[in-house]
Amino acid sequence: MPAFASCGEAIILGLVSGPACIAACGPILVPSLLAEHKGFRPHARYLSVFLAARLLGYMLFAVVAWELGLLASLLPAPRLLLMGVVYVLLAGVLLWYAYSARRSCAQPCADSKLVQITENRNHGVTGAAALGLLTGLNLCPPFVVAGIRAAQMGSMAAALLFFAVFFLGTSIWFVPFVGLGCIVRNQAVITVARMAMVLIALYYLSMGIAMLLGKKAYGY
């Protein structure tokens, strides 16, 4: 019965935290989806891989943090360091994504062929997995809230279950993103998505470096 109650709590927490999760993941997910194949199915596949990798990131962090006893008490300095590393890696993946999209459309850049920017299907899957994993490791506010509650669980298994159910609750909010697959793809949309990826990557890179510099950048 307590397990059932904690699952209920986790799913409600996930559902109410969903908008914050979308806000945190939006800058990464939206441009990368817009640079993908047009259509419902490719987007559903991309989103599934992204969410699965995000769950993996959640679990990985939860296990390590539980083992180290840091789940609810990660000090500001190491937290800043971890986020700095995640931000720099996110920037790297986004830049690679924008660059590889350009490479794969470089040869057949005419009419509808241009739309199919990823002839290599692995490109989308790898990118989605890398981005999903990194957003899972990103200490966004809903994640921290879930972490604090999970730390109060009696065992690691219970904490992991709490995280998994919490993840399910938040994931429902991501389903509408599949609708982006219905937006018409042309050279303009793909170019805009790629340029936006570069800008967002530069933002994450600068913030990541600032976080790694810590006191030198923030002055406190």
Partner 1 sequence: MATDARTLPLARPAPRGIGWSLLLTLPILVWSLLMFFNPGSSKTPIWIISGAITALFMTTLFFMMMRSRSTYRWRRIFFVSLGVLFPIGFIYNIVVMRGTMGIPVEEMIAGRTPFCFMPIPMLILPAAFTRTLVFPGSIASASHGIAAMVGVWLALTLVMGKGWCSYACFFGGIEEGVAAIPARAKIRKLDPRLRYLPWAVLLAMVLLSLALFEPAYCMWLCPFKAVSEYVAARNLLGLVQNVIFILLFAGLVIVLPFLTKKRTQCSWFCPFGAFQSIFNKISIFEVKIDKERCKPCLVCLNACPNLSLSKESVARGETLLSCMKCGACVDVCPRQAIVWHIKGTEIAWKPERARLMFLYAAWAMAIMFGGSIIAQGIATILHFIV
Applying CB under 8 A, which residues contact partner 1?
A: 19, 22-24, 26-27, 30-31, 188, 191-196, 198-200, 203, 206, 210, 213, 216-220
The label of the residue with tokens 């850049």 reads 109
Amino acid (one-letter) located at 84? G
Nearer to partner 1, 69 or 215 (CB): 215
At 94, is the secondary structure helix, strand, or coil?
A: helix
The least CB distance from residue 102 to partner 1, in Å, is: 11
Q: Is residue 193 within 8 Å of 28, Cβ to Cβ? A: no
Q: What H or E segment, with its residue span, contains residue 127?
A: helix 121-137
The least CB distance from residue 214 to partner 1, in Å, is: 11
**47, two tokens:** 């989103």
The least CB distance from residue 194 to partner 1, in Å, is: 8
Q: How far apart are CA 130 and CA 116, in angstroms?
A: 21
Nearer to partner 1, 10 or 180 (CB): 180
Nearer to partner 1, 107 or 216 (CB): 216
Nearer to partner 1, 71 or 105 (CB): 105
